[in-house]
Amino acid sequence: MTQRIAIVTGANGGLGESMCKALIEQGRKVIGTFALGHEAAAATWQEEMKQQGFDITMKAVDVCDYSDCKRLLEEIERTEGHIDILVNNAGITRDAPLKKMQPEQWQAVIQTNLNSMFNMCQPVFEAMCNRGWGRIVNISSLNGEKGQFGQANYSAAKAGIYGFTKAIAQEGAKKGVTVNAVSPGYIDTPMVRQVPEKVLNSIVAGIPVGRLGQPAEVARAVAFLTADDAGFITGTNMSVNGGQYMA
């Protein structure tokens, strides 16, 4: 069987890296994306991954720009082969209480975390349906499930992913295309480790399993949902949060 091609947006972040590794171990050819203007960091990361035995092709894209996403996806289809798996992982935070949140903070997060779902999915979805096979996983968040003080923009965008996921899952169900969401809780990434120790201890105290999650634990969920034999799972959300929020 031809090796399936997987795309992971935000590939060189803490979670994206583990997702790329898990998909490669699953036998996929992985193409990762990074934000425009970060070419040097992406090249360094790509070389580090190669030294670890993970060959990941990296491509720049503005996930907020539909035309740029379409350009990239068409280029990949033309030069690498058809896209079988899409993991929408790119995301940002611009935290502030609502009374202090600026329109720019709201728009930046909605554009990157929610509009990117349409921008990346729409150009590949029809082709997946026509071929009769596809896997899409949209990365949401614990805070999209329960909300979070100071994150009206982030929580709204991540909650919106659930509706988007369920809607297009229905469109792809009879075509062999599954669409699911994964909602990580607090994961042991460099970003989380930058939180002040007192705040971090408070976060961990609220997690029933008593620790932060590991990036590989989120990646395991992604690999499970993108497996060839995962065709009966669609339109669902998999929470990976240590029991912090039970829906």
Nearest Cα to 244, choosing from 141, 93, 158, 91? 141
Residues annotated as part of the active site: 154
Distances (CA, A) of 62 to 19, 25, 67, 76, 153: 20, 27, 9, 15, 19
Sign of CA dihedral 56, 14, 222, 39: negative
Domain count within the chain: 1
How does 25-41 read in b/e, with b if 16+ C-beta sit within 10 Å? ebebbbbbbbbeeeeee
**CATH number for the domain harbouring residue 37:** 3.40.50.720
pLDDT in tens, 98-147: 999 999 999 999 999 999 999 999 999 999 999 999 999 999 999 999 99
Q: Tell which residue, 222, 242, 230, has the closest CA to residue 19.
A: 222
59, β-bridge pairs: 33
Q: Residue 1: pLDDT band by 50, 70, 90 thresholds?
A: low
Residue 246 falls inside a structural domain:
no
- Domain range for 112 is 5-187+215-239
242 close to 211: Cβ distance less than 8 angstroms: yes
Q: What is the pLDDT of residues 54-102, one digit of tens each?
A: 999 999 999 999 999 999 999 999 999 999 999 999 999 999 999 999 9
Longest Cα–Cα distance of the chain, Å, equals 55
Residue 193 in any domain: the answer is no
